[in-house]
């Protein structure tokens, strides 16, 4: 199995080192990740300047590893172009959960989505954080278990996996929490007294049972199967039906 590992926290993040290490148990790993942090970039691609890549062996023993001056989606596109026969793209492990509506902004999930656009399966992995950095060594067995469950499943194109800060081991298949928008804008003043704003993915309201946010809040590992088709099929069917009547 040929696995492309990427992320949006940048190639020097401990999260991608952990993911590459665990992924190596499942097949040949190629690492291709942004040279600086690209969190919140969503699925942006660089189309107005050329992209280059350089070898980056730090943290990646016996693996091909490259840093790219582009977005997470660029890394996937470039990896798919340079290396034939990639079976799956793993993106993460993001430092910070990617739950609910943060799916729209997340560079981590978008890299997995970009893989699906290239007809390659994509799996995003993220871990919740509090004030302390995640303990990736302790997380390794849980990452391994989650990947074991899904990495060979060719029926599922796009998965969003989230680990709680301290997983208990139980894996729950969940729905994306879309009931409440989580994207708070926090206004503040800089040291010069100028107004500025922080854009966050802090949840505004409580989560629904069975959703990704609910699972992680209750100490479970959440796996959400996703699709790319955004068509509102019910609305479409209604429109088509009404048109044929009139
Ligand atoms: Mn990130």
Judge whether 232 lies within some domain.
Answer: yes
Q: Kindly give the distance from the C-alpha atom of residue 108 to the centroid of ligand 1, in angstroms, as a whole number.
A: 6
What domain range includes position 75? 2-177+206-245
Judge whether 14 lies within some domain.
Answer: yes
The residues pairing with 122 across neighbouring beta strands, listed in sequence order, are: 89, 158
Q: Kindly give the distance from the C-alpha atom of residue 237 to the centroid of ligand 1, in angstroms, as a whole number.
A: 38
What's the confidence (pLDDT) of residue 180?
A: 67
Rounded to two decimals, the pTM is 0.93
What's the confidence (pLDDT) of residue 59?
A: 85
With a cut of 70, which residues of the chain have pLDDT below it?
180-182, 203, 245-246
Tokens of 2: 């040929």
Q: Kindly give the distance from the C-alpha atom of residue 107 to the centroid of ligand 1, in angstroms, as a whole number.
A: 6
Q: Kindly give the distance from the C-alpha atom of residue 191 to the centroid of ligand 1, in angstroms, as a whole number.
A: 27
Q: Kindly give the distance from the C-alpha atom of residue 126 to the centroid of ligand 1, in angstroms, as a whole number.
A: 8
Q: Kindly give the distance from the C-alpha atom of residue 243 to the centroid of ligand 1, in angstroms, as a whole number.
A: 45
Q: Kindly give the distance from the C-alpha atom of residue 240 to the centroid of ligand 1, in angstroms, as a whole number.
A: 41
What's the confidence (pLDDT) of residue 163?
A: 98
Judge whether 50 lies within some domain.
Answer: yes
Interhelix angle 136-150/14-23, nearest 10 degrees: 40
Q: Kindly give the distance from the C-alpha atom of residue 151 to the centroid of ligand 1, in angstroms, as a whole number.
A: 22
What's the confidence (pLDDT) of residue 184?
A: 81
Q: Kindly give the distance from the C-alpha atom of residue 245 to the centroid of ligand 1, in angstroms, as a whole number.
A: 49
Q: Kindly give the distance from the C-alpha atom of residue 9 to the centroid of ligand 1, in angstroms, as a whole number.
A: 4
Q: Kindly give the distance from the C-alpha atom of residue 169 to the centroid of ligand 1, in angstroms, as a whole number.
A: 23
Q: Kindly give the distance from the C-alpha atom of residue 39 to the centroid of ligand 1, in angstroms, as a whole number.
A: 4
| Structural domains counted in the chain | 1
Q: Kindly give the distance from the C-alpha atom of residue 64 to the centroid of ligand 1, in angstroms, as a whole number.
A: 22
Alpha helices, H only, 37-192: 72-82, 107-117, 136-150
CATH number of residue 160's parent domain: 3.40.1210.10
Q: Which has the closest alpha carbon to 125: 57, 212, 184?
A: 212
Q: Kindly give the distance from the C-alpha atom of residue 161 to the centroid of ligand 1, in angstroms, as a whole number.
A: 14
**Could you tell me which residues come within 8 angstroms of residue 177 by beta carbon, excluding any fewer than 6 positions away?**
99, 100, 101, 207, 208, 211, 212, 213, 214
What's the confidence (pLDDT) of residue 246?
A: 61
Judge whether 88 lies within some domain.
Answer: yes
Q: Kindly give the distance from the C-alpha atom of residue 7 to the centroid of ligand 1, in angstroms, as a whole number.
A: 7
Judge whether 186 lies within some domain.
Answer: no
Judge whether 185 lies within some domain.
Answer: no
198-237: b (≥16 Cβ within 10 Å) or e: eeebebeeebeeebbbbbbbeebbbbbbbeeeeeeeeeee
Q: Kindly give the distance from the C-alpha atom of residue 153 to the centroid of ligand 1, in angstroms, as a whole number.
A: 26
Judge whether 189 lies within some domain.
Answer: no
Judge whether 183 lies within some domain.
Answer: no
What number of other Cβ atoms are within 10 A of residue 160's Cβ?
28
């Amino acid at each position: 199995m040929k696995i492309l590992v990427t992320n949006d926290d940048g190639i020097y993040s401990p999260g991608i080192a952990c993911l590459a290490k665990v992924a190596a148990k499942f097949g040949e790993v190629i690492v291709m990740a942004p040279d600086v942090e690209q969190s919140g970039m969503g699925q942006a691609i660089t189309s107005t300047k050329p992209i280059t890549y350089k070898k980056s062996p730090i943290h990646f023993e016996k693996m091909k590893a490259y840093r790219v001056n582009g977005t997470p989606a660029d890394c996937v596109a470039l990896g798919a172009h340079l290396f034939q026969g990639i079976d799956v793209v793993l993106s993460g492990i993001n430092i910070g959960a990617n739950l609910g509506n943060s799916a729209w902004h997340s560079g981590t999930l978008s890299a997995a989505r970009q893989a699906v656009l290239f007809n390659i399966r994509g799996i995003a992995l993220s871990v919740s954080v509090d004030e302390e950095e995640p303990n990736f060594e302790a997380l390794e067995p849980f990452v391994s278990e989650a990947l074991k469950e899904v990495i060979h499943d060719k029926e599922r194109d796009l998965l969003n996996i989230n680990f709680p800060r301290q997983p208990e081991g139980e894996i729950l298949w969940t729905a994306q929490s879309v009931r409440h928008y989580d994207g708070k804008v926090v206004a503040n003043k800089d040291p010069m007294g100028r107004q500025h704003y922080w854009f966050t993915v802090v949840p505004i309201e409580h989560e629904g049972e069975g959703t990704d946010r609910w699972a992680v809040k209750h100490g479970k590992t959440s796996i959400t199967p996703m699709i790319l088709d955004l068509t509102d099929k019910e609305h479409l069917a209604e429109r088509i039906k009404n048109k044929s009547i009139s």
